[in-house]
Structure 1
Amino acid sequence: MDCLVAANTRFCCDLFREISKVDRHKNMFFCPLSISAAFGMVRLGARSDSARQIDEVLHFSEFSQSESKEPSPCLKSDQRKVVADSRLEEQEKTTGSLDLQDNSSNDGSDALSCYFGKLLSKLGRIRADCMLSIANRLYGDQEFPISPVYIDGVIQFYHTTIESVDFRKDSEKSRQEINFWVESQSQGKIKELFGKDSIDNTTVLVLVNTVCFKSKWEKYFDCENTVDAPFTINENEKKTVKMMNQTGLFRIGFIEEVKAQILEMRYKKGKLSMFVLLPSSSSDNLKGLEELERKITYEKILAWTSPENMSEEMVAVSFPQFTLEDSYDLSSLLQGMGVTDIFDETKADLTGISLSPNLYLSKVIHRTYVEVDEDGTQAAAASGAVVADMSEPSYVTFNANHPFAFFIKHNKTQTILFHGRVCSP
């Protein structure tokens, strides 16, 4: 499981940099886990170069190498025997056939999917404490019969299915059906994911990936302490925002190598946390954020959030309200990162999904929505009053009045659910 989390986090950092190439000064919010899981679902049916490119770009190959010594404990005993037998056969052969390579590839994707299933099940248990809607679904044209084995795997591991629609003869009805499903999955937050003419009779396979998130803070911000305050975007531009304020015990640290504070704000019951990376204020705040973002890696995230770097202190927190809604065409982004064959009708090998040699991935859309506000309740207000009545101790100041980056992490598994930045609330 740790290897899968590491692979997902490395992909998260890579994708963040790829998105930043388009606009370094744009607000950003995406769910790397959801995207990884969606492409794990595609990987289950990919073969040859189509599979290898996914493995390399999403770091699944690193996961496979670390898990290759022993058959996956996720698999049933009879499946483990098949995997072990195939490995023994590989050792005995001096040259491997194409069929054997494909089988080996399938074993790896089965293990990958199995671990994804376990991780998604763990994360599913937190939904009682927050609004977390991660929805993936494949829509395939009915002219391409889907393999029953593939359908079983998608249902078992990724908690979703593949839907057959008629892109060729009724693309508009298919578009409306997809949009209706997305809106229902996102509790009405994401409407009209696909606009008119975005799906037509040339479409054959669409991967839809949506995420909505909202949760209560463990330590809420009292609405009475929210004030209008300036947010400095850059040396020439400021705007007035709703700035939330509170003073209390928080984990906080300073990252010397990037000259930035890091603050942990826990959500209700402490299962999830938002970590905010705030560069020191300067004449060019956006440049400071860019320099920080260039240095974010999986290893750095582990180090920066470790107990050695963060300690619990009394902190005066000022943090802006914001709502981020974004949509990404992952087709172009992932092609820029090296996943090219599955989007090419002449090169795609998705024969694990359907034996048709003409099946390829037409579109991949990732849509996200997040709200950040005081989100307090009357009961929480009572406990907040106790803190307010305490004698005022010395405290550290954390004032997010200029651009910052953040990520939301599931603390038990160390999984980064969301990554983003706020340049202008």
Structure 2
Amino acid sequence: MLLSHTQRDALLKFSLNIYNNLQTRHRQRENFVCSPFSIACALATFASGACNVTAKQIFAALNLKASKSRIQDQFSNLLTVLSVYAPEVTFHVANRIYSDEKFAIHISYRALLDASYRTRIKSVAFVCGHESIRRNANAWVSKQTGSNIPAILPSGSVDTNTALIHLSAICFRGSWEWPFDSVQTTRQMFRLNDSKVVPGNMMYQYNSFKMGYSDELCASALEMPYRGQMMSMVILLPDDVQGLRDLEQSLTPANLSKLLASMEMVDNVQLISSQVQDRAQRGSAGDTRGPRSQGLVHAGPGRPLRSIRDRCAKRL
């Protein structure tokens, strides 16, 4: 098992909180992509260097109640297992922090982030080299994501006032366990809502897949395994054409877990062929639910991240 029930429930609850926050902001957009796991890892790295109230608030946002050392071990074990969990797909997680050189980072904190979160800290001088740092950061992300994200930081996003940049890259690449035959793809009408129908490429195959249904959510779930069947995609489909918003607002860790547990094998699958591309969004999607202190990414009032610094490294 990748996660304990406690870890799974905590990450699932955090993921739904992030999703609900984002879908409210993106209501007018067609699609968006997010990785709650990346956000959770980033917050955990800061929590590992935070003290007192700030650390408690970050871990509370992550719904994690174990000790700091226990949480660090959990993330370390999870990242280690994930790297080899599904050998027939590519799943790569990498993190990097650019910290202004005026903040002396203790060697023990560097070692902790490397060991527990696979995160490297690079000390830089934003005052005199902010543009080259931006280009270096973009090059790193591009390399980690197979050139799929060539410029996460646009021109002007990094300046002399920048104190810290945290980058998280996840690269996933996999083929379906049972690929769709392009010969079976046909042009059919696809209903977007009650009033709009558009033509679309409909993929089809006759095979056995796991499906489930929730009376509470009025929605179905379909699991599409990737090669090796160690990882999969789960698609949720509301009964009502206009039911997406109700489904989003009704999702909870409990009813989603119940739906996933109810899945059983069925035959015949028909899906709309689609491609989702989302521009990088900067800023914290979890700021309405996360730490309220002013020291999450800089040492503000109360210096809540002081344990990262040399003089208080004994707190690590």
Normalising by structure 1, report the TM-score: 0.68
Matched, 1:248 2:207: yes
Matched, 1:217 2:221: no
Aligned-residue offset at 1:349: 1.4
1:250/1:264 contact within 8 Å kept: yes
Return closer, same or farther for 1:314/1:152 CA change in 2, 3 Å cut-off: same
Kindly provide the CA deviation profile for residues 36-57 of structure 1, in whole angstroms up to 9, marking residues without a partner as x: 1121111110112221221111
Counterpart AA for 2:110 = I
> Which one of the candidate residues 289, 300, 304 is aligned to 1:346?
300
Aligned-residue offset at 1:25: 4.8
1:149-160 aligned at under 5 Å gives the runs 149-160=108-119
Counterpart AA for 1:39 = L
> 2: CA distance between counterparts of 1:311 and 1:127?
22
> 1: CA distance between counterparts of 2:172 and 2:189?
27
> Which one of the candidate residues 259, 272, 282 is aligned to 1:329?
282
Matched, 1:50 2:54: yes
Return closer, same or farther for 1:343/1:194 CA change in 2, 3 Å cut-off: same
2:98/2:122 contact within 8 Å kept: yes
Cα RMSD (Å):
1.9
> 2: CA distance between counterparts of 1:243 and 1:214?
22
Per the alignment, residue 250 of structure 2 pairs with 295
Kindly provide the CA deviation profile for residues 131-181 of structure 1, in whole angstroms up to 9, marking residues without a partner as x: 323221111011111111101101111122111111121110111111111
Per the alignment, residue 319 of structure 1 pairs with 272
Aligned-residue offset at 1:127: 5.7
1:142/1:166 contact within 8 Å kept: yes
Per the alignment, residue 68 of structure 2 pairs with 109
Aligned-residue offset at 1:217: 0.6
> 1: CA distance between counterparts of 2:87 and 2:14?
28
Aligned-residue offset at 1:192: 1.0
Per the alignment, residue 277 of structure 1 pairs with 236
Per the alignment, residue 226 of structure 1 pairs with 185
> 2: CA distance between counterparts of 1:353 and 1:345?
10
Structure 2 residue matching 1:197: 3-state secondary structure: coil
Aligned-residue offset at 1:112: 0.6
| Higher strand residue share | 1
1:246/1:318 contact within 8 Å kept: no
Counterpart AA for 2:40 = S
1:11/1:59 contact within 8 Å kept: yes
> 2: CA distance between counterparts of 1:271 and 1:179?
31
Matched, 1:31 2:35: yes
2:109/2:308 contact within 8 Å kept: yes
Kindly provide the CA deviation profile for residues 201-259 of structure 1, in whole angstroms up to 9, marking residues without a partner as x: 11111111222322111111001112233332223333333221111111112211222
Structure 2 residue matching 1:334: 3-state secondary structure: coil
Runs of 4 or more off by more than 6 Å in structure 1?
A: none
Counterpart AA for 2:10 = A
Counterpart AA for 1:271 = M
> Which one of the candidate residues 89, 103, 108 is aligned to 1:144?
103
Structure 2 residue matching 1:220: 3-state secondary structure: coil
Structure 2 residue matching 1:30: 3-state secondary structure: coil
Per the alignment, residue 207 of structure 1 pairs with 166
1:134/1:209 contact within 8 Å kept: yes
Structure 2, unaligned runs of 5 or more = none
Structure 2 residue matching 1:240: 3-state secondary structure: strand
Structure 1 residue matching 2:128: 3-state secondary structure: coil
Return closer, same or farther for 1:335/1:154 CA change in 2, 3 Å cut-off: same
1:136/1:207 contact within 8 Å kept: yes
Matched, 1:5 2:8: yes
2:86/2:231 contact within 8 Å kept: no
Structure 1 residue matching 2:142: 3-state secondary structure: helix
> 1: CA distance between counterparts of 2:135 and 2:50?
28
Counterpart AA for 2:7 = L
2:99/2:163 contact within 8 Å kept: yes
1:334/1:340 contact within 8 Å kept: no
2:79/2:117 contact within 8 Å kept: yes
Matched, 1:166 2:125: yes
Kindly provide the CA deviation profile for residues 16-49 of structure 1, in whole angstroms up to 9, marking residues without a partner as x: 1111121235312222122211211111101122
Counterpart AA for 1:315 = N
Aligned-residue offset at 1:14: 0.5
Aligned-residue offset at 1:312: 1.0
> 2: CA distance between counterparts of 1:172 and 1:128?
38
Aligned-residue offset at 1:275: 1.1
Return closer, same or farther for 1:182/1:156 CA change in 2, 3 Å cut-off: same
> 1: CA distance between counterparts of 2:213 and 2:157?
46
Counterpart AA for 2:257 = L
Percent identity for Structure 1 against Structure 2: 26
- Is 122-131 or 203-212 further displaced after alignment? 122-131
Corresponding residue pairs, total? 305
Structure ID, larger Rg: 1
1:159-198 aligned at under 5 Å gives the runs 159-198=118-157
